[in-house]
Amino acid sequence: MRGINTLTKNKKKHNDDFSNKGNKINFFIKKNRYYLIIMILVIGIISVVTFNIKHFSKYTNTESNISSKNKVENKSIDYKTIKPNEAGDVMVIMYHSIDNKAKHFPWHRNKKEFKEDLEYMYKNGYVLISMKEYLSNDINIPAGKTPILLTFDDGLKSCFSLIKNKEGKLVVNNDTLIGILEEFKSEHPDFGSGGVLYITENPFEYDAYYNNKTEGDYQDKFRVLTDLGYEIGNHTYHHYNMNNLNKNEIMEEIGKVNNLVYKNNNKIPTSYLAYPYGDKPKEENLKAVKNGEYKGVKYKMQSAVLAAPEPPYFTNPINKDFDPYYISRAIANSGQHMDMYWYFKYYKKHPEKKYISDGDNTVLSIPANYKKNVNSEKTKSFKTIFYDTKTYETIE
């Protein structure tokens, strides 16, 4: 009995001790419950973060991952094979309208000739760009290709017009230069996109050389052109020779067209000018070309094109001798001195003179002999690499 009583007492004592410890723990938890909750939350957060880093870091766009990804995706430039020259000449071509007569003025093309022009450009590695891309030299085309900028003067309806399809929707008239170009682009999606249409009064409503159908208002026409990637340029309202105009007259001629576009194209002003007849205004009046205002609407011209090639001809916008208000253009014709095909033949014979892309629009690859002509202010947003055309090694 004494053994049983002793066992009972020990068991009771053990239970009392356990109960006391439990009470102490409960008291401790109750007293420090907020700290414990915080500790549990912190541990949980650390666990989740550690898990994400371990299992998902390879999928996150962290700076190091992006940098690593770029290093993998950026292919090295094969200078010997491509022979890139992104300070080389860029041709700007001048078209007007369709004239299907057997004999026509050299600044017009019949439909067959225009299609042949596009075929030549495509087969010889030319890719369309916009004026914006041309001026900024931010040209994103495949390696080995050459950019070309097409421009269309006078806003004639055989250049561009709209018609209604079977569903009653306004679409580009295929019986126009832009219609032919759009059809060619759909068949050759790697031909690029872009071009400037320089308009005067009553754009795309009149044509003395080719009578095709046109529908829609200015808003419709400007909207379709903009959606297709074309830029609407300014050719002045009455097409007067600007060399004979004073500052106020120049401002009015440019301003009227600018206001027309601004009103009918989501308040987007015109930024590119084509001099009528290619005649630049007197030097003291050039300021009115660059900036002006007409009836409360301001304009700021970023460039102006001539009607023929003049020195320094088709110099690249990053070169020191480039003047954005004196851009040469080649007439879209064959058989004349310094027309479009004359230059095509010239650059085929001297490919080292023309722009050839390295395939990376973040890098400018330039032959070392061009270095002294490059305007460093124009290349600040690019990584510029000069290379030796004999060894094909890069030069710092």
- The predicted pLDDT at position 208 comes to 84
Nearest to 97 by CA among 135, 154, 50, 144: 154
The stretch 184-206 carries a mean pLDDT of: 97
Per residue in 22-35, pLDDT tens? 454 455 455 565 55
- The contacts of residue 135 (CB under 8 Å, 6+ apart) are 302, 303, 317, 324
pLDDT class for 211, splitting at 50, 70, 90?
confident
Q: Which of 30-44, 219-233, 332-346 is predicted least confidently?
A: 30-44
- The predicted pLDDT at position 105 comes to 85
Q: Say which residue, 124 or 11, is predicted with more confidence.
A: 124
Per residue in 60-114, pLDDT tens? 333 333 233 233 234 589 999 999 999 999 999 999 999 988 778 888 999 999 9
- The predicted pLDDT at position 304 comes to 98
Nearest to 237 by CA among 194, 280, 200, 276: 200
For the chain, the C-alpha Rg in angstroms (whole number) is 35
> pTM (2 decimals)?
0.81
Per residue in 364-394, pLDDT tens? 999 999 999 999 999 999 999 999 999 999 9
Per residue in 277-315, pLDDT tens? 999 999 999 999 999 999 999 999 999 999 999 999 999
- The predicted pLDDT at position 41 comes to 65
Contact 303, 364 (CB under 8 A): no
CATH pick for 79-395 out of 3.20.20.70, 3.20.20.370, 3.40.50.1820, 3.40.190.10: 3.20.20.370
Distance CA 179, CA 175 (A): 6
- The predicted pLDDT at position 212 comes to 85
For residue 53, is pLDDT > 50? no
Which of 1-10, 66-75, 155-164 has the highest mean predicted lDDT (pLDDT)?
Answer: 155-164
Give domain limits for the chain. Answer: 2-69, 79-395
- The predicted pLDDT at position 44 comes to 61
Distance CA 149, CA 89 (A): 12
Per residue in 319-361, pLDDT tens? 999 999 999 999 999 999 999 999 999 999 999 999 999 999 9
The per-residue pLDDT of the chain, averaged, comes to 87
- The predicted pLDDT at position 103 comes to 79
- The contacts of residue 194 (CB under 8 Å, 6+ apart) are 128, 129, 130, 131, 133, 149, 150, 229, 230, 231
